[in-house]
Amino acid sequence: MKKTFAVIMSLIFSAGTLFAADPFRMSNPYQMTEGRSMEDLAAFATPARMFDVSNIKYRPVAATDINGNKCYYTTSGRLALSISKSGQMTFSLGGGSITKANDRSLVSVSKSIRGTNTIEISNDKGEIIGYQKTGYGGKVVKQLDSAGNTTQTIESNKFGKVTTAVINNMTNGKTIYNAQGQPTYELDFEGNRMVSYIYDDNNKLTEKIDVYGNRTHYDDSGNMTFTENKDGVVLMKWNYKYDANGRYVLDNSFDPTTNETTRYDGNGRQMYTENYAGAKIVDYVFNGASLVATFDRQNNLTTWYDKSGKTIGTTFNDEWISKNIYASDGQLVGTFDYRSNQVTIFQNERREIVLQLGIDDEGQPHDKIQPPTAEQIKQWIDDGLIKDAHLLVNPL
């Protein structure tokens, strides 16, 4: 037992990531996080000091959770470190947590807001990207965006220990979970079953099947291996490798329908996509842990993303050619095409209507028309101005 625990503690400390303060004896966790800068919090993830574990009996040392994450515990039985299958590490302390990538670069910091049931989440640059609300036993019951809009609601059983359902508040879809806390199927906003999950006798996920008959297959570790359509035609393959540190990481994804391959770095981030001849056709631009843009070399289109990962729009030679339209609650309500002055309207983030705006007497789009706001689109719908993909009254 001593030897096993020593190996585990050596692993944790050698990763260079235990907290500088002693998380095992904190009497007030808020003292560790409240008012701290990003640099201070990141400093938690540096080696501290060893401690005597010789008198520990009947304590969990390590475990693998239902998602395949390796979990390590403190002398008091609290979760101290969780390592994902790809090597990403999350360090826990009473007032929050720190997540680091495979290369030990900072990904995010979570801090409890004192006197509330709210957790603030920041990215590696200190920007707030969202919040969490906790319920019984500290379990997360809501996910919110940086503006405080609820994006996800998590339902649990009577004692809050097992997730029973997750509601996507942006699409009004719902994922139903089994008694083991695993997703079993997904419903759209109308209650139609869109996705089903298949498990083996050991409760390991083996397949995910969507409403169109496409099947995504998983290996014993829960990694996606390939997707095929209802006719057995392979649509996508994921290939893995062991890196220099012995971690089993995603190497590339291959689309047999286009013969295009996307390459990934050791942290699971896309680097570039290449065509059948090996020429780069798409670049992925990251600022730290955040995807900022993708650049399509074939048509010189750049797609931009905000700090939370939402798509802003697409530019060509520094001019906008399309922009997404979001409501104040964070929901995607439309996309505006600057070239055609067309608005694609979404309901529950699903494409519903295409509107033609701002055309002259010859049916040609006006130049430099501004996209409508989400409030304008909602008002058009409420006022009954939209019918058969056209405005009865063109306000622009």
Q: Is the residue at 339 inside a domain? A: yes
| pLDDT for the residue numbered 356 | 80
Total number of residues shown for the chain: 396
Cα separation of 90 and 219, whole Å?
24
Q: Comparing C-alpha atoms, which of 39, 174, 32 is closest to residue 94?
A: 32
| pLDDT for the residue numbered 88 | 86
Q: How many CB atoms lie within 10 A of CB 383?
A: 10
Cα separation of 259 and 391, whole Å?
42
Q: Is the residue at 262 inside a domain? A: no
**Rounded to an integer, what is the distance from CA 304 to the centroid of its chain?**
17
In Å, what is the CA distance from 71 to each residue of 45, 60, 65, 150, 356? 16, 10, 7, 29, 54
Cα separation of 72 and 63, whole Å?
7
| pLDDT for the residue numbered 238 | 98
Contact 240, 248 (CB under 8 A): yes
For the chain, the domain total comes to: 2
Would you list the DSSP string of 5-16? HHHHHHHHHHTT
- Which residues of the chain are under the pLDDT cut of 70? 1-60, 66-67, 94, 349, 360-368, 387-396
Would you list the DSSP string of 198-259? EE-TTS-EEEEEETTS-EEEE-TTS-EEEEE-TTS-EEEEEEEEE-TTS-EEEEEEEETTTT
| pLDDT for the residue numbered 361 | 64
Q: Is the residue at 231 inside a domain? A: no
SS3 breakdown of the chain: % helix, strand, coil, rounded to 5?
10, 45, 45
Q: Comparing C-alpha atoms, which of 12, 32, 13, 36 is closest to residue 23?
A: 32
Question: What is the phi/psi pair of residue 148, to 5°?
Answer: 90, 10
Beta strand segments in 278-349, E: 280-287, 290-296, 301-305, 311-316, 319-326, 332-337, 342-347
Q: SS3 sequence, 149-195?
A: CEEEEEEECCCCCCEEEEEECCCCEEEEECCCCCEEEEECCCCCEEE
Largest CA distance in the chain: 86
Q: Is the residue at 178 inside a domain? A: no
Cα separation of 188 and 167, whole Å?
10
Q: Is the residue at 51 inside a domain? A: yes
Contact 285, 295 (CB under 8 A): yes
Q: Is the residue at 56 inside a domain? A: yes
| pLDDT for the residue numbered 191 | 94
- For 327: left if phi > 0, alpha if psi spans -120 to 50, otherwise beta; the answer is beta
- Please give the residue range of the domain that contains residue 337: 320-391
Question: Which residue among 83, 109, 135 closes a domain?
Answer: 109
Cα separation of 178 and 174, whole Å?
13
Q: Is the residue at 3 inside a domain? A: yes
Question: Which residue among 91, 109, 127 closes a domain?
Answer: 109
Question: Which residue among 77, 109, 141 closes a domain?
Answer: 109
Q: Is the residue at 177 inside a domain? A: no
Residue where the block lists tokens 């008002």:
379
Digit-coded pLDDT (tens) for 249-284: 999 999 999 999 999 998 999 999 999 999 999 999
Cα separation of 311 and 293, whole Å?
9
In Å, what is the CA distance from 254 to each residue of 32, 242, 271, 282? 45, 18, 14, 14
Contact 71, 81 (CB under 8 A): yes
Is the overall model pTM greater than 0.75, yes or no?
Answer: yes
